[in-house]
Chains A and B, each alone.
Chain A
Amino acid sequence: MSIIVIGLSLSFLLFLLAAGLTLIFGMLGVINFAHGALYMLGAFVGYQIVHMTGSFWLGLLFAPLIVACVGALIEILALKQVYDRDHIFQLLLTFGFILVIDDATKMIWGFDYKQVPTPEIFMAPISMFGSQIPSYRLFVIGFGAAVSLALFLLLDRSKWGMIIRAASSDPEMAQTLGVNVNRVRTGVFALGAYLAALGGVVSAPLVPIELGMGFSVIIDCFVVVIIGGLGNIRGAILASLLLGMTRAAGYTYATEWVELLTFALLIGTLMFRPAGLFSTKGRSA
Chain B
Amino acid sequence: MKLLALESCNVTYGKAQALHSVSIEVAQGEVVSLIGRNGAGKSTILKTIIGLKQPVSGRRVWKGDDVTARLPNQLGRLGIGYVPEDRRIFDNLTVHENLRIATVMGRTGAWTETRIFEMFPVLLDRASQAGNTLSGGEQQMLAISRALLTNPELLLLDEPTEGLAPLIVDELVDSMRRINEEGMTLLLVEQNLRVPMKLAHRQYVVDNGTVQWSGTTADLLANREEIEKLISV
Contact = CB atoms under 8 A, between A and B. Distances in A.
Interface stretch (A166-174, A221-229, A259-267, A271-279): A166-174
A159 B105 CA distance: 11
Contacts of A180: 73
A169 B72 contact: no
B102 A162 contact: no
Contacts of B77: 178
A180 B77 CA distance: 11
Contacts of B75: 176
Contacts of B93: 162, 165-166, 169
A176 B146 CA distance: 11
B138 interface: no
Contacts of A176: 50-52, 72-73, 75-76, 80-82, 84
A191 B100 CA distance: 23
Given A163-B104, A177-B102, A178-B104, A172 B72 contact: yes
Contact of A282 (B80, B88, B130): B130
Contact of B92 (A159, A168, A179, A181): A168
A48 interface: no
A162 B97 contact: yes
B45 to A, nearest CB: 15
A284 B50 CA distance: 28
Q: Chain B's interface: helix, strand, loop or mixed, by majority?
A: mixed
A47 B73 CA distance: 42
A133 to B, nearest CB: 39
A285 B75 CA distance: 26
A173 B150 CA distance: 13
Given A282-B91, A282-B92, A177 B132 contact: no
| Max chain A Cβ within 10 angstroms of own Cβ: one of B73, B84, B91, B102 | B73
A166 B101 contact: yes
| Max chain B Cβ within 10 angstroms of own Cβ: one of A162, A168, A179, A181 | A162
Q: Chain A's interface: helix, strand, loop or mixed, by majority?
A: helix
A173 B93 CA distance: 13
A179 B73 CA distance: 6
B122 interface: no
B90 A178 contact: no
B69 interface: no
Contacts of A159: 100, 104
A169 B92 contact: yes
A285 B97 CA distance: 14
16 contacts: A162-B93, A162-B104, A163-B101, A165-B92, A165-B97, A170-B88, A173-B84, A173-B90, A174-B90, A175-B52, A175-B73, A177-B73, A177-B105, A178-B76, A180-B73, A285-B92
Interface of B: 50-52, 71-73, 75-77, 80-82, 84, 88, 90-93, 97, 100-102, 104-105, 107, 130, 132, 146, 150
Given A175-B72, A177-B150, A179-B101, 15 more contacts: A162-B93, A163-B101, A163-B104, A165-B90, A170-B88, A176-B72, A176-B76, A177-B102, A177-B104, A178-B77, A178-B105, A178-B107, A179-B104, A180-B73, A283-B92
3 smallest A-B Cβ distances: which pairs? A178-B105, A175-B72, A178-B76
